[in-house]
Every structure is written in C-alpha cells, then in structure tokens.
Amino acid sequence: MSLINTEVKPFKATAFHNGEFVDVSEADLKGKWSVVFFYPADFTFVCPTELGDLADNYEELKSRGVEVYSVSTDTHFTHKAWHDSSETIGKITYPMIGDPTGIISRNFEVMIEEVGLAERGTFVIDPEGVIQIVEISAGNIGRDASELLRKVKAAQYVAKHPGEVCPAKWKEGEATLAPSLDLVGKI
C-alpha cells in the first residue's frame, strides 16, 4: 500500500539540533510543510553528500515554510559526533533525528530489516501531516536537493490551487494544467 495521502504515524524521538538534544514527534510535522529525509548511516560515503546538499538548500526550504528532518537508525549521540567531526555535516542546522529502535523507519516503510538501516527515503508532508510525495532510492544512488525543492514548490502550488496540476519539469511561475475533458488526448 502506498503511503501517499496517509497521515504520518505517531513517533517520539530525540534529535541533535543546533548543538542541543531535542524531543521530536509526529506533532512537530503538523502546522507546516515538512521534509523527512531518511538515509542509511552516519560516517558513510553517499550520505554526507546528500545531507550537505540538503543543508545548502535548507534556507530556501525554510523561506517556503518547510522544516527538514534527517533520520537514520543511528543515535542522536552519533549525529552529534558526526556533526562535530565532519566539515560537511557541521554545516547542518536542521534537526538530525536518531531512530535506533527503527520505529520511525518502519512507520515510513523504509527499514531494511536484515541490516537495521533505513533506505534512502524522502517524504514531503503537508501542514495537516499528510504525506504528499514519496521517493525511495537504492543505497548507492544519491538524491538531489534542487529536485526536491522543485517538487516541494509543485506540492505547495497544487495545495493552494485546487483544480490545477503541475506537468513534468514544471518550475515555479510556469504554466500549469487544469484537467478537463477538453484536454484528453490533446497533450
């Protein structure tokens, strides 16, 4: 079953955020747009490139009312150690959630049970706590935060403009479509 249009399931966790350990739950994902960004593990290879790319785009996401939460099955203590020892990870200012029990990873259906790690899963969640975008990538394929930002903009646009849809490669300010019988077979 797809997680699209389902509400985020309850969870409680601790995150490393701006030099502190903070409590985070599904309630924190409500009232604003959120990106939950799962990755396999700290101190690895592809993961820091993705998290650094996300950090580089974080201010623009925040300016759009979007909070970012990265999640791995490492602990919040490990997140702090990685943040303190890596120049790339050191620039992160979004919450880094620890999921050592795997509850959050299982809730989002990205847990690789055999190894106890999360898949590369990206979830865009609307202010009501409903999942609007799901993207899962194989462990050896890194994601692109600029493409994520484009998708967030599209999700926010269609949420504000019922009856319109964003075509492929849509960018903010470009034309959208209003689905109708007149368009069937014309595109």
d(CA 94, CA 4) in angstroms, rounded, equals: 24
Q: Known catalytic residue: 166?
A: no
Q: Which of 15, 47, 61, 97 is catalytic?
A: 47
CB atoms under 10 Å from CB of 123, counted, come to 23
Catalytically active residues, by annotation: 47
